[in-house]
């Protein structure tokens, strides 16, 4: 994607792809775990 990613203390990064789609990236010891959520965000 060409974006720098910032991970928190739990090795997680949350990306807002548009006004309704979030992707969570979690760096585990030997894998990367990807989760997706579709929720409306008010005020965005």
DSSP lists the bridge partners of residue 36 as: 23
Closest C-alpha among 1, 36, 2 to residue 20: 36
**What tens digit of pLDDT does each residue of 1-44 get?**
688 889 999 999 998 888 888 899 999 999 999 999 888 766 65
- Residue 33 pLDDT: 94
Is-contact 20 40, C-beta < 8 A? yes
């Amino acid at each position: 994607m060409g974006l720098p990613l910032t991970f928190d203390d739990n090795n997680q990064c949350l990306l807002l792809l548009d006004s309704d789609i979030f992707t969570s990236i979690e760096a585990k010891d030997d894998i990367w775990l990807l989760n997706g959520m579709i929720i409306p965000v008010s005020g965005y």
